[in-house]
Chain A
Amino acid sequence: MINSVRQTVMSVLNKNNYGYISPSDFNLFAKQAQLDLFENYFYQYNYQLQKENARQSGTGYADITKGIEEVINTFSETRFLQHQYQNRFFTPSESTTGDNYYLLNKVLIYSKLLASGTNDALQIQSLIDSTATFIASGVQVGDIVVNLSSNPPAVGYVSVVVSDTELTLVDYDGNPFDSFINPQMQYLIYSTKPVKEAEKVTNSKITMLNNSILTAPTLMFPAYSHQEPTITLLPDTINQLGAVQCQYIRFPRPPRWTYVTLPGGEPAFDQTAADYQDFELPKDDEVNLVNKILQYAGMSIREVSSVQFAQAQETANTTTER
């Protein structure tokens, strides 16, 4: 989609050979435009909910909320949070989960530790501990396996309980989980049941909540407070990697229109480049992206008419969609 957007933008700007924006400028504007539209989805979602409550929204193909939810869900990620110390866990970030988060939607707590120990034999995609009793301990397919000795600590899942001493492992996406590559690596195995949702409590309330006899956080009703770059889980017995999983909405990845330079100096689109990144918004946002980028580009080349044109298009589009 990114090449199509760039071509349209260039086509509008280039009338009478007025304007040209370089690929690096285009990438900057594209990133900005995508973020604008991404954030706007949440406001649209709220607007549509209000319309639903006012009985001004339909079902089936007229269910606009559903479409917006689907777009937002394309940015949803579920990852285990890296443990900092005691009951603190790092929020999702490039360095811990591979993505920066826009909002933390859900924090899940696994509190039933089934087994722990160290591996003592090596086999691809497996955890082998000759002293373990995995079957007797209740380890089942789908349970969470944490490798505390890897750097950074890694989390996988049981795909096959081979025997009392051997498990086959996969990662979250179902690919082979090859984390136990050395002997004497420390592991934990958590059951996926029960799983409880921790509630976010504001920093101004968390102390009072913790002191409350009736509502103090328990493993049945856990809570967390947030202070970047960590969240603090309560009760404080939630203090190990593998116990806290987070479902969050990540930011879209910055789009990159990559190119090769032709002999005439003209850049030609090259989507095989390693840093190529298309827009992550759906195809029906192409018009909006063009309009947004045109506004930024028009300002850049001091072309007021292109800014006005893009704004008029955007307003018309928004009005129609409501």
Chain B
Amino acid sequence: MAYITQYQYYENGGQQPENANWGSYQYVSLEDIVNNFMLMYSGNHSLVNNEERYKILFHAKRAIQELNYDAFKEIKILELNVCDTLRYVLPSDYVNWVRVSLYQNGLLKPLTENIQTNWSSAYLQDNDCRILFDIDGNALSPQNSTIDYERIRGGKQSIYLNQNSKMYGKSGYCVDGAWYFEYGIGARYGLNTETANANPTFKIDPKGGVINFSSGVANELIILEYVSDGMENGNDSLVTVNKLFEEYVYAAVEFAILNSKVGVQEYIIARAKKRKAALLRNAKIRISNIHPGRLLMNMRGRDKWIK
């Protein structure tokens, strides 16, 4: 992409949206990457020769996807209101989650993932537990499984955590923010610390494309921090890479092609692999932005007493 004027940068040349070019100088476009690679790393006198452009494009995109998964620190954030279904539909470009938080009373409360499942699919069964089928031979399913139904209507027990209450640590039912307890008989042994949290918990159903929450989230705002693959819903003109990773992408493409090409000597492949790994390390260190000014605040906390 050609350099743009200050007017284009700050005000998008008078067009809308005004902020279209803000921060754009940090990035290099996918088109530039493919073009530069074809010019500089491919040709009669280069290691990569007689390769189709679509292969370069493919490997460049794959490299960008991999960078998006862990190396880039570019978290996307989406706020959605969760209704009575206690369900948050995953964003269209969702690949993996970083943090799920409840935004309540002006506070952001990070939620913990419940490693025990809180959702399930189900089939309809008759009295003999035989599965019921439709005329096409497909099993019939209810709208909600029992576990889903109980979770949504608040009928599923969880542990009440409030040290000031005599019910602290007891299993109860949270319905519309109010807690109900069964009369306990006998002693209580142990506490499942994995699920013991005053805040609601969640479990992600990746194939179903939703996050299922425990009760207490209905009509609340949930903020999902997640990573995408950087493919911008297939719009190649929007795909960009931070310039700190530009050289890495070239190295990754070169390695991917040499590694899959017949007749390339092993030492050349090893060299390309080493270069790729070294450039990734360098780029990660650079983007970590470790410098004294930034460390200062962390160092100040070293003598703080942990209560």
Contacts and interface: CB of A to CB of B under 8 A. Distances in A.
Nearest to B43: A49
B34 to A, nearest CB: 7
A215 B59 CA distance: 10
B234 A221 contact: no
A151 interface: no
Interface stretch (B49-57, B191-199, B251-259, B296-304): B49-57
Contacts of B57: 214-215, 221
A52 B53 CA distance: 24
B236 interface: yes
Interface residues of B, number: 15
B54 A53 contact: no
A213 interface: yes
B58 interface: yes
Interface string A54-93: 0000000000000000000000000000000000000000
* Majority secondary structure, B binding face: helix
Contacts of A201: 52, 54
Interface in B1-42: 31, 34
Contact of A214 (B31, B44, B53, B58): B58
Nearest to A198: B53
A243 B57 CA distance: 23
A221 B54 contact: yes
A220 B236 contact: yes
A2 to B, nearest CB: 34
A214 B61 contact: yes
A215 to B, nearest CB: 5
Interface in A282-301: none
A100 B307 CA distance: 86
A201 to B, nearest CB: 7
Interface in A178-223: 199, 201, 209, 212-215, 218, 220-221, 223
A122 to B, nearest CB: 37
A53 B31 contact: no
Contacts of B237: 220
Nearest to B44: A49
Contacts of B166: none
Interface in A209-249: 209, 212-215, 218, 220-221, 223
A223 B231 CA distance: 20
Nearest to B62: A214
Given A52-B44, A52-B45, A53-B45, A213 B234 contact: yes
A223 B57 CA distance: 12
A201 B55 CA distance: 11
A199 B50 CA distance: 12
A309 B45 CA distance: 39
A215 B54 CA distance: 6
Nearest to B49: A53
Interface in B112-139: none
Contact of B53 (A49, A53, A218, A221): A221
Interface of B: 31, 34, 44-45, 52-54, 57-58, 61-62, 231, 234, 236-237
19 contacts: A49-B45, A52-B44, A53-B44, A201-B52, A209-B54, A214-B57, A214-B58, A214-B61, A214-B231, A215-B58, A215-B61, A218-B236, A220-B236, A220-B237, A221-B31, A221-B53, A221-B54, A221-B236, A223-B54
10 smallest CB-CB distances across A and B, nearest first, come from: A215-B54, A199-B53, A220-B236, A49-B44, A215-B58, A214-B61, A215-B57, A218-B236, A214-B58, A220-B31
Given A49-B45, A199-B52, 10 more contacts: A52-B44, A53-B44, A201-B54, A209-B54, A214-B231, A218-B236, A220-B236, A221-B54, A221-B57, A221-B236
